[in-house]
Amino acid sequence: MQSRTVRFRQVDVFTSVPFKGNPLAVVFDADDLSADAMQAIARWTNLSETTFLLRPTDPAADYRVRIFTTSRELPFAGHPTLGTAHALLESGYTPKQPGRLVQQCGVGLVPIVERDTGAWAFAAPPARIRPLDDAQLQRLDAAFGRGVIDFTAPPCAVDNGVPWLVVRLNAAAGVLALAPDRNAMTALIADITTLGLAAYGPHIATDAGGAAPATFELRALLYGAENAEDPVTGSANAALACLLSVQNRRPGRSFTVRQGTVIGRDGRVFIDYDHDGTDARTWIGGHTVTIVDGTFRL
């Protein structure tokens, strides 16, 4: 079969500093690729996600995207949403509406808006929230170590297209030091059918008056096939933002999350409630930088 080349970018998401965010591979002009071919490419890039740009089938959308991990297709994911939008805009695409894109993906249409800072933010998809039962809570507490979890905010499974177990810890320091029993967590995550654990805790300003690096620290720990720590995770932060609303624990109209610290990254996620003023949405934003710009041989 004759090969062809398509445009390709590798970008770093949720950072304005190269190599400090979450990398994403973006393959353009992918309409004639089969799902098997996309999965093979995603496995080869060996990144947490690879996206494929296609022509939209919904007239309201600017573009359509398919999102693959190294082992599966996802209906939605956060850092691929922002990274794909960045790559498309940088390629010279003009949005149908200035300062606004509409992405078509497995969960439907996802609006993405430009912020005053130059970052872009996506509207978090609706989420399904399911509290853990008593037996699951006891297993979680044992896996973490007694006294680590802040149970005043009950741990919940939150699914916005990517399911996460969201757990609040007493402080950011506890998040950074977290080392739950992997075997116990692998079994629990399988039981509650989530992709992994999103553990978060509040940063506290120092007694000397030093500013906290962010409102919360978050770590996204994957279990099962991936079995790794995700550098910076849009869907997990969207799940957190949604759960904070439901539990009446919002720290304000907007807040920031730092992620990736333990693995040498320095991701920053900006969360706004009703950012664009049109409806009651939750917006998950961040900067993206391009690292590789070239072609991909198919």
Identify which of 260, 279, 277 has the alpha carbon closest to the alpha carbon of residue 269.
Answer: 260
Active site residue 114: no
Active-site residue, selected from the candidate residues 49, 114, 217, 229: 49
Active site residues: 49
